[in-house]
Structure 1
Amino acid sequence: MGNIKKLAGQTIWYGLPTIAQRMLGFILQLFLTSVFLTEKFGIITQVYAFIPFMNVLFTYGIETSYFRFAQNTEKERLYNTLSISLIVSSIILSSLLILGAAPVAAMLDLPGRADLIVMASGILFFDTLIVMPFAKLRQEGRPRKYALVKILTITTQILLTAFFLSLCPRLKAEGYSWMGWYNPDAGVEYYMLSNLLASFLGVVYISKEFFSFRWLFDKPLWKEVIRYSLPLIIVGLGGMVNEMLSRLIFPKVYPFPKEITDSQLGIFGANYKLAVLITVFIQAFRMGAEPFFFNQSRNEDARHTYARVMKFFVMLLGAVFLVVSLFLDFWILLITQGPDKRYAEGMHIVPVLAMATVFLGIYYNLTIWYKLTNRNMTGAWITLAGAVITIGLNIWWIPQFSYTGSSWATFCCYSFMMAVSYLLGQKYYPVPYDVKRILFYLGLAALIYAGHAWLRSMHPGFWTMQLTGLLGIGMYMAVILYLERAEVVRLLGRKAAG
C-alpha cells in the first residue's frame, strides 16, 4: 500500500501543473471563443492537430526509453547521450519543416499560411529541448520543480495571449503611435506567437536542468535505445491519428463549402476540449505512473500492485467522467460567452468523447505489459489497428453525421484498443485485474449519466440540472466508499474496523 500512496502523492504533484495547465488552457479557450468566430477557431484546430503528430517524430519515444534503460544503465551516460540525440534531431527536423512550410500549409488546407507552419516548427523545437530535463525530474521523483516550470510556462502563454489579443487592440484603437506594428486582423498569428514565446521561456525556466548534460555521446548505447524506441514512434503516431486525425480528415471529406466546414470544425474542436478534466487526470497519472511502473517491475508483488492501481484509477476516472458529463448546461453557459453561440450546438458529443477518453486512460494503464516485456512492436500493431478504425470510420461517418460521426469513431477506436491490449496483456504478462469490479464502476457511471440525460430531455431548468448532477456524483461516490471501504481505510493508513 505504501507504493500506491507514493504513486498517489506523485500523481497529485504532477497533477497540480497538469490541472493548472489544462484549466488555464480551458480559460484561454473560453477567451478565444469570445474573440474568434468558429471559422477562425477552425484554423487553430487544424494547426494544433498537426503539431502533436510532429511532436511524436521530434521526441521518438525517448522519455519511455529513458525510464526503461535507467533501470540498468549509468544514468548520467544515458542522459547525456539522449539529450544530445534530441538536440541534434530537433535542429534537423525543424529546419526541414521550415524549408517545407509552404507545401505543408497547402497539405493542411491552409494555402498561403506558411507563416503558421514556421511558428509551429519553433514551438516544436523549444518543446523538444525540455523533454529530457522533464524526464529527469520525473525519474528522480522531483515533481515540485516539474510543477513550477509547467505552471510558469502556461501562465506566460496566457498573459502573452491576453496582451496580443486583448490589450494591443485597445491600445491600437486609442491611437498610440508606437502600436503601428500591430495588425488587428492577425489574431491566429498572435495566438501562435504567444505559444512560441512561452515555449522558448519554458527552456529558460528549466535552464539549470537543460544545461546539466555533457557533450559525451555513447553511440552503442544510443543504437540500443533507438531499437527500443522505434516501435514507440509508431505507437505515438498511431495515438495521434486516433486523437487528432479526425480534425485533419474533416475538411477533406465534409461535403460542404469551406466556410461551413471551418465552422463545423471549430465547433468540433472547441467541444473536444471539454473532455479536458479527464485528460488532465490521465496526463497527471501518466507522469507519475510510467517511471513508477518501471521501478516496481523488479518487485515480487509488482503485478498485484498494477492491478490495484488500475482499480483505483478506474474509480476516479468514473467520477471525473460524471463531472464532465452531468453539467453540460454549465459548459454551454461558459462556452457561449462570446458573440458566436454556435459552439453550443456540439455539446452532445462531450459525453461520448469523455467516455472514449476513459477507455484511452485504461488503455494507457494496460500498455505496461508490452513495455516491460520488450514487445513494443505489438503495441505498435494495436495502435495501427486503432488508426485504421479511426480513418475508416471518419471517412464513412463525417459526410453523413459531421463531427458527431467523428466522435463515435473515436469511441469505437479506444474501445477496441482497450479490449485488445487487455487480452494480449493477459497472454504475455498476466495481471490479476479485478475486471468485474472495474466494469461495474464504468457501468454505474454510464447509468447515472443516462438517467441524468433522460431528465435533461424534459428541460427541467438550469439549477435543477446542476443539483441533480451533484446528486449523481454523490451517489457514485457513496457506492464506491461502501464497496471499497476496506481499501480506502488501508489507503488512509488505518486499521480496518471489524
Structure 2
Amino acid sequence: MWYGVPTIVARFLGYLMNMALPFLFEKPSVTADITQVYAMIPFLNVLFTYGMETAYFRFSQDKDKHHLYNTLSVSLFISSLAFTALLFFSRGTIAAAAGLEAHPEYITWMCGILLFDTLATLPFAKLRQENRPRRYAFVRISGILINLLIVLFFVGVLPAYISNHPDSPLRLFQRFDIGIGWYLVGNLLGSIATFAMLAPEWKELNWEFDSKLFREVMHYSYPLVIVGFGGMVNDVLSRLIYQHVVDLPAEQAKHELGIFANVYRLAVMMSILIQAFRMAAEPYFFNQSKQEGAQKSYARVMKFFVLACCFMFLFIGLYLDVLEWIITVKSDAWAEGMYIVPILAMGNIFLGIYYNLSIWYKLTGRNMYGAYITIAGAVLTIVLNILLIPRLHYLGAALATFACYLLMMVISYVMGQKYYPVPYARKKLISYLVLVSLVYAFHRLVLYFYSPLWFSVLTGTLLLAGFAMFVAKVEKKELSKIPLLSKFV
C-alpha cells in the first residue's frame, strides 16, 4: 500500500494534468506536438536507464548492496551525461524528423527531463529496496505536485488573470509565450526538484566502479533493454507515427492525433493501477522467490490483480458517458473516438497480466526470452499500425495495441508454464475477463435504446455493484482472510 498509493497518487496527479488539456485548449490539434515529444521520452528513457533498476533489485539479493549501488550509479551518471550531450547537439535533426521544426526548444527541454529523471532512477530503487516507503512517497509526490502547479498556474490561471488585470506585474510572464510548452517546462522543473530532494541518497555514494561486477550486471540487463524498447514500440509507436502514416492533410492529422492521445489518456487509468502494482510487486517477487510455496503466492497475487483490473475496466466502461460529459466542457471535438477507450483498457489489462507473468524469465535468468516475446509484440504492432491506421484511423491503432498485448500475454503464459510453472487459476481468470466484457457490452446495448446521463450512471452503478456481489460470493473464502474486507464478505 505504501508503494502503491503514492504511485497511484503521483500518476493520478500527472493524469489530471494531462486530462486538463480539453479544458485549456479548444482544438485537439494544439496538443499534437506535445504528444510527439511525450511519445519519444519513453523510448529514450529505456536507453538512458538500460535496465539498471531491475538489475539493482536482482543483484542486491546476493551482492554487497552498497558496492553495487556505487558501481551502477557511477555508470548511470556518466552515461546519462553522454547521452544528454548527444541528444542536445542533435536536437535540430530530431526536431525535423519528428515534425517539430516550429518548436526545437521542446527537444532541449526533453533532454533535461531525461537527464534528471535518469539520475533519480537508482536513488528511488534504493529507497524501495531498503523499505523506506514514506520518503519514497514524499519525494515522488512532491516532484509531481511541483510539475502540476507550474503547468496549471502558467497555462490555466495566469492568462485569465492578466486578461482581467492588464496592469499587473505578472504580465511580464507574457514574454514567455510558450503556450502548451509549459507542460514540458513544468516537467523539467519537477524533475530537477525531485533530483534535488534525493540529494541524501547521492551523498551516500562512493565514487567507485567495479568493472567485473558491471559486466555481470550488463549481461543480465541488456536483454531488458531490448524488452524495454519493444515495450515502448508497443506502447507509444501509434502516437509517434500517426501523423506520418494516416492519409490526411497535416492539420487534420494533428487533430486526429490529439483526439487519439486524449482517449488513450482515459485508458491510462488502467495503467495507473498496473504501474502501482509493478512498483510493489517487483521487489516482492524477488524477495519471495526463495521462500517455500512462492509459486502459490504468485498465483494468488495474479488473481487479485486481475480482479482489481476488472473493477477498473468496469469503472472506465460503465462511466464512459460521465467522462465524455466532463471532457467536452470546452469543445465537443474532444469526445470523438470515445468508443475505442474500452478496447485500449482491455489491452492494458493484458499488458498488466503479461508483467505479472514475466516474473518467470526474470527469476530463471532467461531474460532473452522476454526480449523475444516483446520483439514479437513489437513486430505485430508495427505491421498492424501501418496496415490499419490508414484505413481505420485511431480504431486501427487501438486494435493494434489490443492484439499486441494479447499475443504477448499468451506467449508468456505458455512459455512460463514450461520453465517456471505457477498454478494460476486460468479458467477463473478468463471467466472474469469475459464477464466484465459482457457487462460492458450489455450496458451499451441498454443505452442504445435509452441514453440520458442519469440513466447511464444508474444502470452502470447497478451493474458494478452486481459484479462486486458476484465476486464476493465466488471469492468468499479468499476475501474473508483479508481483515478490511472479511466483515463485509
Normalised by the size of structure 2, how large is the TM-score? Answer: 0.96
Shift of 1:346: 1.3
3-state secondary structure, aligned to 1:13: coil
1:238-317 correspondence to structure 2 within 5 Å: 238-317=230-309
Paired residues for 1:284-363 under 5 Å: 284-338=276-330, 340-363=331-354
Judge conservation of contact 1:329–1:462 (CA < 8 Å) in 2.
Answer: yes
CA distance, structure 1, for counterparts of residue 403 and residue 257 of structure 2: 20
1:13-46 CA distance string (max 9 Å, x none): 2222222223222321232222222111111111
Aligned to 2:23: 34
How far residue 335 of structure 1 moved from its aligned partner, in angstroms, is 1.2
Q: In structure 2, the residue corresponding to 1:180 is in which secondary structure?
A: helix
Q: Secondary structure at the match of 1:432?
A: coil
1:377-408 Cα offsets, whole Å, 9 max, x none, are 11001001100110100100101111011001
Q: Pick from 368, 374, 392: which aligns with 1:377?
A: 368
Counterpart amino acid of residue 340 in structure 2: I
1:130/1:494 CA distance change after superposition, 3 Å: closer
Match of 1:453 among 418, 439, 444: 444
Per the alignment, residue 78 of structure 2 pairs with: 88
User: Could you tell me how far apart the structure 2 residues matched to 1:326 and 1:171 are?
Assistant: 38
Alignment of 1:353-432 (within 5 A): 353-432=344-423
- 1:15–1:284 contact (8 Å) kept in structure 2: yes
How far 1:493 moved relative to its partner? 9.2
In structure 1, the gaps of 5 or more residues are 1-11
Q: Retained in 2: the 8 A contact 1:102–1:113? A: no
Q: 2:209 corresponds to which residue?
A: 217
Q: CA deviation at 1:350?
A: 0.6
1:106–1:495 CA distance, 2 compared to 1 (3 A): closer
Q: CA deviation at 1:171?
A: 5.2
Aligned residues of 1:17 and 1:150 also touching (Cα < 8 A): yes
Q: Distance in 2 between matches of 1:293 and 1:434?
A: 18
CA distance in 1, matches of 2:438, 2:289: 36
Deviates more, 1:421-430 or 1:160-169: 160-169
Report the equivalent of 2:34: 44
Q: Which residue of 2 aligns with 1:24?
A: 13
- 8 Å Cα contact 1:14-1:284 kept in structure 2: yes
TM-score (norm 1): 0.94
User: Whole-Å Cα distance in 2 between the matches of residues 207 and 109 of structure 1?
Assistant: 37
Any idea what the Cα deviations from partners look like across 1:59-102, whole Å, max 9, x if unmatched? 11111111110110000000111111111111010110000001
413-422 vs 159-168, which moves further = 159-168
Hey, what does 2:425 align to over in structure 1?
Answer: 434
Q: Compute the RMSD of aligned alpha carbons.
A: 1.6
Which segments of 5 or more consecutive residues in structure 2 lack a partner in the other structure? none
Shift in alpha-carbon separation, 1:493–1:243, aligned structure 2, 3 A: closer
Of the structure 1 ranges 445-454 and 175-184, higher mean CA displacement relative to structure 2 is found in: 175-184
Could you tell me which amino acid in structure 2 is paired with residue 43 of structure 1?
A: D
Q: Does the residue aligned with 2:336 lie in a helix, a strand or coil?
A: helix
Is residue 162–residue 168 contact of structure 2 (8 Å, CA) maintained in 1?
Answer: yes
Does residue 117 (structure 1) correspond to residue 83 (structure 2)? The answer is: no
Contact 1:39–1:259 (8 Å) recurs in 2: yes
Q: CA deviation at 1:118?
A: 0.8
Partner Cα separation in structure 2 for residue 212 and residue 129 of structure 1? 14
Check the 8 A contact 1:164/1:191 in 2, yes or no: no
For residue 455 of structure 1, report the CA deviation from its aligned partner.
1.3
Letter in 2 for 1:352: I
Q: 1:157 aligns with which of 128, 147, 156?
A: 147
Between the two proteins, the alignment pairs up a number of residues equal to 484
State the AA in 2 paired with 1:368: I
SS of equivalent residue, structure 1 residue 490: coil
Query: Which amino acid letter does the alignment assign opposite residue 181 of structure 2?
Result: E
Would the aligned equivalents of 1:452 and 1:469 in 2 still touch at CA under 8 Å? Answer: yes
3-state DSSP of counterpart to 1:400: helix
1:193: Cα distance to partner?
0.8
Distance 1:246 1:364 in 2: 21
Determine which of 222, 231, 234 is the counterpart of 2:223: 231
Amino acid in the other structure paired with 1:357 = N
% same residue: 47
Give the equivalent residue in structure 2 for 1:142. Answer: 132
